[in-house]
Amino acid sequence: MNKTTHLEGGKVWLVGAGPGDPDLLTIKAARLIAQADAIVYDHLVGKGIMDLARPDARVIYAGKEASKHTLPQDSINLLLVDLAREGLSVVRLKGGDPFIFGRGGEELETLVASSIPFEVIPGVTAAAGCAAYAGFPLTHRDHAQSVTFVTGHLKDGTVNLDWPALARPKQTVVFYMGIGAAEEICRQMISHGLPSLTPAAVVRNGTQADQRTLLATLGTLPHAIVESGITPPALIVVGSVVNLHEKLSWFEKR
């Protein structure tokens, strides 16, 4: 990888950094990080990934944590425009995949409105990465014929979701950003038809050295989260594939 080659100026690359493990970066993502003039990166970008950046690159943290935003989204959108207009090559680096609960579409709409050229580089989304490292096949002929990714925190702060669809059997449901709403999520899933004994799990810091997997059921998960002290970043996985963890888990057993 040639870290001295510079990219075209006045352009933005929207790049997925994957779920945390730097080895899960795509080759293209790693190359762009190594060559960019400026990198605007998020809280969920895994440790070690920013070490790939040029020593002289302008590095700007724009992380968002629960109720704690370094920069409002509108400010991030305009920052990308300003950096590109300076003639810089800009990597907008997001954890997971930028188009799956990453607000990448919102940022690109601002770039389009400002006539800023861009490219999109997909990343391994958190659900796929965390499930693989926790031993949960998201689909399985004996357990789940479909998988649904859903946010546990809507723009207006509610958890007003399509509960009848989410509570259907023979599927896996993965909730992003759902730890704070776990009690409501489990209550709604049960009240819309899933048994309280339906397997459920939380994966915290998935694919990273300190990954932690908590196994429970819809009926016990909220209490288990409180008792364990698990905090974001974490995913909630609901479905019988969770039962395969003991058999298929490999990462945490190493």
Tokens of 185: 């999520």
Candidate list 64, 68, 155, 247, residue with the active-site label: 64
Whether 156 is a known active-site residue: answer: no
Burial of 3 (0-12, 13-18, 19+ CB in 10 A): middle
Rounded alpha-carbon distances, angstroms, from residue 23 to 3, 89, 95, 205, 218: 18, 24, 13, 15, 33
Whether 97 is a known active-site residue: answer: no
Candidate list 37, 42, 94, 97, residue with the active-site label: 42
Q: Using an 8 Å Cβ cutoff, are 66 and 180 in contact?
A: yes
Distance (Å, whole) CA 33 – CA 25: 10
The 3 state secondary structure assigned to 57-69 is CEEEECCEECCEE
Tokens of 216: 């429970």
Residue numbers annotated as active site: 42, 64
